[in-house]
Amino acid sequence: MFFANVHVLMEGQNNPSFRQLVNRADLVNPDGMPLVWALRAMGEKKASRVYGPDATEVLLRQAGRAGVPVGFYGGSKATLAQLLRTVRLRYPRLSIGFSMSPPYRALTEEEDEAVVQKICSAGVRLLFVGLGCPKQEKWIIAHRHRIPAVMLGVGAAFDFLAGTKPQAPRWMMRFGLEWIFRLCSEPRRLAGRYLTNNPRFVAFFLQQWIRSLPTRLMRAQRPKTEMNV
């Protein structure tokens, strides 16, 4: 399961192989108001945001109640340690079968197989992956047939739940201004991404919206024609 925002979409636009990879996911949620607004403008009037950190907390709460073992893969060692402390305090009934902060380098085949075996032997059924885009999406698809668990690429949710990075106020999220808050919080890391991706996203969406306009107009008129007949 993926949570797609403008960054994920533009990564797919830049890299066709990554776009194909995302399209292979069992479920891709719109995580970001620009995507929700775009979907609504294309006719999906009931589209709503599925925010990764909120979904993570809901699933952790339900997993604790149902006795479903969960695991965490990603984040720095400090972030992961704080995340585990926070999660255990909030959800004392939760069973955490696996947690690992992997090195930034690529794992060897032997190391990767050892990780897979640990996750499988722990009986994890929900695995939260916080490696960042596009690394986490690639990792999930590469392991989807090797790990018998629902895997979720939750990105910055590890940092937000651990409290190592600040979250934007809810009113900024509702108005699609979360990116401004994050840009101000991490300007050196995010300036290039936002200042490049955001305008391109708007441009590509407008092109798609204009191209689809005749089709959408025909669909809107079809019920009236059928009623007249």
Transcribe 50-61 into DSSP letters.
--HHHHHHHHHH
Residue 26: which residues within 8 A CB-CB, separation 6 or more?
1
Other CB atoms closer than 10 Å to residue 55's CB: what's the count? 18
How far apart, in whole angstroms, are the C-alpha atoms of residue 32 and residue 178?
8
Other CB atoms closer than 10 Å to residue 61's CB: what's the count? 14
Computed over every residue of the chain, the mean pLDDT equals 93
- Whether the predicted pLDDT of 226 surpasses 80: no
Q: Are 27 and 1 in contact (CB under 8 A)?
A: yes
Report the sign of the C-alpha dihedral through residues 222, 224, 227, 229, in that order: negative
- Whether the predicted pLDDT of 225 surpasses 80: no
One-letter amino acid at 19 equals R
pLDDT digits (tens, 9 = 90+) for 37-52: 999 999 899 999 999 9
68-77, 109-118, 120-129, 218-227: least confidently modelled range: 218-227
**Chain centroid to CA 3:** 2
| 192 confidence band (pLDDT: 50, 70, 90) | very high
Q: Which domains does the chain have, with CATH numbers?
A: 2-208 (3.40.50)
pLDDT digits (tens, 9 = 90+) for 156-187: 999 999 999 999 999 999 999 999 999 999 99
pLDDT digits (tens, 9 = 90+) for 77-106: 999 999 999 999 999 999 999 999 999 899
Q: What pTM did the predictor assign?
A: 0.90
Residue tagged 């190592």 (tokens): 164
How far apart, in whole angstroms, are the C-alpha atoms of residue 229 and residue 221?
13
Helix 187-228 / helix 178-185 crossing angle, nearest 10 deg: 170
- Whether the predicted pLDDT of 229 surpasses 60: no
Helix-strand-coil split of the chain, %, nearest 5: 60, 10, 30
